[in-house]
Amino acid sequence: MSFTIPRQYPGTRMRRMRKDDFSRRLMAENTLTAADLIWPVFVLEGSNRREAVPSMPGVERLSIDLLIEEAREAQALGIPALALFPVIDPELKNELAEEAYNANGLVQRCVRELKAACPALGIITDVALDPYTSHGQDGILDEAGYVQNDRTVEVLIKQALSHAEAGADVVAPSDMMDGRIGEIRRILEQERLHNTRIMAYSAKYASRYYGPFRDAVGSAGNLGKADKSTYQMDPANGDEALQEVAMDLAEGADMVMIKPGMPYLDVVRRVKDELRVPTYAYQVSGEYAMHMAAFERGWLEDDRVILESLMCFKRAGADAVLTYFAKRAARLLAQ
């Protein structure tokens, strides 16, 4: 990109345009609205139940009935979609993650009830096995403990189909197995679920910023000290993300995602520039926890920092952001 600077001080004073609110607003290159926000939520069994997540102050695990109330509020605030994550009863977890595709499982029931209560609200489901495996990995292990790709994809297909049949608008594979987007697209087409969208977690890094999420869904204890670096990406890599995104698009993804968010905004920009497709980023649990910790200590001012953090995703090229701040940010934006 060539960059010419024909104008010189004092003919050009950059501060002139910054002087007043009206001219600052006129030159704003990006906007942030409630339509840019996707709200990740945690659902648990039971009724009238809410549990705090200690490492994510302000975030709660909710039973379906309470989640529906919150979903109505989110919709009224203009948030287009929720991303649903289940807290699975430890007794239902096993080596083969069989509960993942139970047509009457927690996620499948929750999707049906949410769609009945708020039909216009987009429901995005997480397609991955980690909430369902006794070891906390996102796939089926061989004897050596290695996550088997094709064996795992067979289960992911069943899981994605069960979500789509329950009425999920978007299925979002977050596991990073090779070839899963193509296989999920194939089964959806075969079952005539032509309009189920796929949001691919295409560039998902093996990140330690997911710690609080693993507490929230209760997979941290199962996973222990093990990590996910044989399938999630190395934080050292950028080009590899473009290849992942290109492959997921070729396999049938409608939208692609980069995750985590703020430490990976360079990847968001590169993906948007090179592929020019609907591009999302996930401000993950660790990013949320860091912000909240600083707010609680009074080290950062909360409202303005939340909005700044989200605007930065827009500037980097994201079309929307998955953020635990979604509702709070939407309220601020409504003021």
- The site for ligand PBG (CB under 6 A) is made up of 126, 128, 130, 138, 174-175, 210, 213-214, 228, 284-285
Nearer to ligand PBG, 36 or 126 (CB): 126
Residue closer to ligand PBG, measured from CB, 76 or 293: 293
The structure tokens 């039971």 sit at 46
Residue 291 CB, shortest distance to ligand PBG, in Å, is: 13
CA distance 188 to 197: 10
Does 244 belong to an annotated binding site?
yes
Question: Least Å distance between CB 263 and ligand PBG?
Answer: 12
Report in angstroms the alpha-carbon separations of 296 from 56, 216, 227: 12, 20, 30
Q: Which is nearer to ligand PBG, 117 or 141 (CB)?
A: 141
> Residue 48 and residue 283: Cα distance in Å, rounded?
28
Number of neighbours of residue 103 by Cβ within 10 angstroms: 11
Nearest approach in angstroms of CB 125 to ligand PBG is 11
Which residues touch 99 (CB under 8 Å, ≥6 apart)? 88, 92, 93, 105, 132
What value, to the nearest 5°, has the Cα angle with vertex 153 and ends 152 and 157?
120
Q: Shortest gap between Cβ of 130 and ligand PBG (angstroms)?
A: 5
Is residue 259 part of the annotated active site? The answer reads yes
- Which of 93, 228, 259, 327 does the annotation list as catalytic? 259
Backbone phi and psi for residue 105, each to the nearest 5 degrees, phi listed first:
-70, 175
Closer of 128 and 171 to ligand PBG (Cβ): 128
Tell the burial category of 98 from Cβ atoms under 10 Å away from its Cβ (0-12, 13-18, 19+): middle
Binding residues for Mg(2+): 244
Binding residues: 244
Enumerate the active-site residues: 204, 259
